[in-house]
A and B are shown apart, each in its own frame.
Chain A
Amino acid sequence: MKNFFFYILFFTMAVPALAAKPTPLDPAMQIKARAIADQLRCPVCRGIPIAESPAELAQNMMQEIRNQLRQGKSEEEILNYFEDRYGEWILLKPKPKGMNLTLWLLPAALLAAGVVFLFFAVRRWSA
């Protein structure tokens, strides 16, 4: 009889608790959530992704990523969601377009210029 009451108590307490908690993501989804969070800048930190931040806002954003993955959203859709709201600044890796191309092309251009400079410098020294 005592056990019977125990089980009744257990289930009446456990069922609402389970219902309130969202189902955890499976390991593959967890990895996906982490990969997305690694690409997003924590708005209240200095240059670290939300995946590495203990800040409450970063944790809320992490939860939003998990919720959107549960809804079946793709990585691109989730990144676009954050970009639409916080601007391109939120992406730790700027998209290679427009003025951003400078970031991607300038190092290569400087390297090429250096090689050309060295080539002519060495030729002049050896002449």
Chain B
Amino acid sequence: MKRVILFFLIAGPIVALLAFGLTRNPRELPSAMIGKKAPDFALKNLEGKEVTLESLKGQNLLINFWATWCGPCYQEHAVLKAIQKQHAQENLRLLGVVYQDSVENVKEYLRQEGKPFEVLLDPDNKMGIDYGVGGVPETFFVDAEGFIREKHSGVLTMEYVEFMLNTLK
């Protein structure tokens, strides 16, 4: 009897720990950037004009990292277009940072699918690394003071974006 109790005392916590581990998604990592000041950037838009974080100060930002080769980004595009339409009059700026993609592909894609955001070109992935981006789509919500309030990995939904925009107000 003693041995059985000892077995459960040793095996119990190990099994519990493993079971807890299995309930977690190893791909879901809370961003280290949340609550921090958004790193500055100076990137060219599609028109060749330089856009900096400083120049956008005072506006809430939705910064979406995306690429034309990214399937989920295609699904997300419709959500971003709806968001842009619904919040056009608000103090919100939508930025789409191109991630590991060519300008030609981006222009053709936007010509076909529409342009819900101001496109920023990040050819060396400098901004991507500065924001701790590991893949696309990833979206950052930055408040008017320039602080990152939330980061979302994966496809955005209307409900989630509406909820986040309310928290930025």
Contact = CB atoms under 8 A, between A and B. Distances in A.
A2 interface: no
Contact of B30 (A57, A61, A87): A87
B29 A56 contact: no
B32 A83 contact: yes
A86 interface: yes
Contacts of A63: 124
Interface residues of B, number: 18
Contacts of B129: 57, 60-61, 64, 85
Nearest to B131: A85
A53 B33 CA distance: 24
B146 interface: no
A43 B135 contact: yes
B125 interface: yes
B58 interface: no
Interface string B19-41: 00000000001111100100100
A92 B33 CA distance: 19
A85 B130 contact: yes
B32 A86 contact: yes
B12 interface: no
Interface string B84-113: 000000000000000010000000000000
Contacts of B124: 60, 63
B33 to A, nearest CB: 6
Interface in A70-122: 83-89
A64 B124 CA distance: 9
B32 A84 contact: yes
A68 to B, nearest CB: 11
Contacts of B30: 87
**Which are the 4 A-B pairs with shortest beta-carbon distances?**
A85-B132, A43-B134, A87-B32, A60-B125
Given A44-B135, A60-B128, 11 more contacts: A56-B100, A56-B125, A57-B128, A61-B129, A64-B126, A83-B32, A85-B33, A85-B129, A85-B130, A86-B134, A87-B29
Interface of A: 43-44, 56-57, 60-61, 63-64, 83-89
Interface of B: 29-33, 36, 39, 100, 124-126, 128-132, 134-135
